[in-house]
Amino acid sequence: MLDLDKILNIIAIVGVIAFAISGALTAMDRKFDVLGVVIIGFTTAVGGGSLRDIIIPERDVFWIVEPIYTYMAILGSVLAVIFHNKIQHLRTTLSLFDTIGLGLYTIIGVQIGIQYDLPGISCVILGAITGTFGGVIRDILVNEVPLVFQKEIYISISLLGGSIYYLIYWYESHGAWVEILGISIIIILRLIVVKFEISFPTLYKNEKE
């Protein structure tokens, strides 16, 4: 039988590949050359988890000590390069990778915060950092205003999903199914938001172009 650690490891690896593909596609949109695409893919894939591990001083940065993550991030980027002509037509399908990565990484981040006995709000923020910071670094590196700050609904889903997961974890039950539930909540919320084009009410009346 699969134990929780094994499940979380598999989930983390799938998340790395998903985010690497998403980062590599962004870099190819900007016409970066092949190594640039791999670097942006790698950075998008490991950036959030790296910042999380840097913030918690007891933790080694995950990909430095477990090279499997580095290989998977490179693999995801290379796959995106090889199949980029076919992938271009699959954009909608591919934003799914981003959504899956968001769900996976958020829950892993909250989970690690819990492991280190951090306060609840810190766990939830660590989850959001793990889930969204790779994308922030990606946007800084390609010199754009990070997408999450323009469509913050993305990061708010991570915060909301992470909070729900944290509450279930403490007040209800532990175990793999709670992780799966948390990840599912985030993925479903994200799909609903995309489907119905939900966004925050603006603070600035009659001022928008």
> Which residues lie near a second copy (CB under 8 A)?
27-28, 31-37, 39-40, 50, 54-61, 63-65, 67, 70-71, 81, 84, 118-122, 125-126, 136, 140-146, 148-150, 152-153, 155-156, 199-204, 207-208
Assign 23 to helix, strand or coil.
Answer: helix
**Tokens 């993305």 appear where?**
154
Nearest distance from residue 3's CB to a second copy, in Å?
25
Question: Of 2 and 204, which CB lies nearer to a second copy in the complex structure?
Answer: 204
Nearest distance from residue 182's CB to a second copy, in Å?
20
| Contact present, 97 and 21 (Cβ < 8 Å) | yes
CA 87 to chain centre: 20
Nearest distance from residue 185's CB to a second copy, in Å?
18
Question: Of 52 and 179, which CB lies nearer to a second copy in the complex structure?
Answer: 52
What is the Cα–Cα distance from 17 to 69, expressed in whole angstroms? 9
Nearest distance from residue 146's CB to a second copy, in Å?
6
What is the Cα–Cα distance from 55 to 38, expressed in whole angstroms? 25
Question: Of 104 and 155, which CB lies nearer to a second copy in the complex structure?
Answer: 155
Q: Encoding tokens for residue 95?
A: 């934003």
Helix or strand holding residue 115 (H, E): helix 91-115
